Structure 1
């Protein structure tokens, strides 16, 4: 695998715009573990090695979350995740694959048991932002360590 080009150097304004979105979400979401879990799950779905590597490492800096990372793709099957985490992971999956079924009312209701409407918008912004990062990374050929 080879990096096609460094989009950060080629288009600094685009990078700064993405960083503004990232800082918004990072500043609004208080549960940093769930924040990283959502980013990892979306990156798994999209197949973004660069973001998987980055966010798994970011999660590990918060504590020993190896089991969470290893079992994240099967979160439906294990009791490791809280009901709030499950609801937000399902929302992340559904929004990432939004063309398949939209966001069903039952999922919206499940998520709203755990967060406010304002937080819902924040989470949608986080999910959209990591989807954007994944698409940039995959399109430009980014891989773990490509900027080292």
Structure 2
């Protein structure tokens, strides 16, 4: 881990809650609102989230599986996300979510009219904005966890036992 954590402190609670009290709790609330208030379907949500996790290299994020209404994606889903271009396991919305995640993370200047035309066939403007906010959250906070080494040390408290 890159930063020093006081003895007896949980690294994630300390970093996200105590180190920068004016920013950390607000960032945590935003990150959690993605899961609590999001309206996207599980498969497109997880395809986008996992693609960002793969790009970020966040160990925790790659291992995590979001649950909606008691359902999680199948065990083979991460492999399908890696092969999003050719997998037969994705419908158009799921494939577009993975594509958007990758392009948002590594080539956002390359999001051209052709991409947006395809995207708008399958996603409403509201869904595009929601997915964009999710992607921004996952890039920022997944990278924060990875860069500081928190991803190998922590389990988010609200998710203990939910993996």
Report the TM range for the smaller structure's normalisation.
Answer: 0.7 to 0.9
Q: Does 1:22 align with 2:31?
A: yes
User: Displacement of 1:71 after TM fit?
Assistant: 2.4
Q: Distance in 1 between matches of 2:60 and 2:101?
A: 18
Q: Distance in 2 between matches of 1:107 and 1:51?
A: 27
- 1:43·1:52 contact (CA, 8 Å) conserved in 2? yes
SS class of match (2:126)? helix
Q: Which stretches in structure 1 are left out of the alignment for 5+ residues?
A: none
Relative contact order (C-alpha < 8 Å, sep 6+): which is higher?
A: 1
User: Displacement of 1:145 after TM fit?
Assistant: 4.4
SS class of match (1:4)? coil
Q: Report the structure, 1 or 2, having the larger helix content.
A: 1
Say which one has the larger Rg.
Answer: 2
User: Displacement of 1:109 after TM fit?
Assistant: 1.1
Q: Does 1:126 align with 2:125?
A: no
Q: Which runs of 4+ in 1 moved over 6 A?
A: none
Q: Which digits, 9 at most, give the CA deviation of each residue in 1:44-101, with x for residues without a partner?
A: 01211121122xx3359623511112221111121101111111111111111135x4
- 2:45·2:97 contact (CA, 8 Å) conserved in 1? no
Q: Does 1:89 align with 2:111?
A: no
Q: Distance in 2 between matches of 1:18 and 1:89?
A: 24
Structure 1 residues 36 and 59, CA gap change in structure 2 (3 angstroms): farther
- 1:25·1:123 contact (CA, 8 Å) conserved in 2? no
Q: Distance in 2 between matches of 1:4 and 1:39?
A: 26
Q: Which stretches in structure 2 are left out of the alignment for 5+ residues?
A: 5-10, 158-163
Q: Does 1:138 align with 2:146?
A: yes
2:118 corresponds to which residue? Answer: 110
Q: Distance in 2 between matches of 1:49 and 1:64?
A: 18
Q: How many residues align?
A: 144
TM-score (norm 2): 0.75
1:11 to 20, 25, 34: 20
1:72 corresponds to which residue? Answer: 81
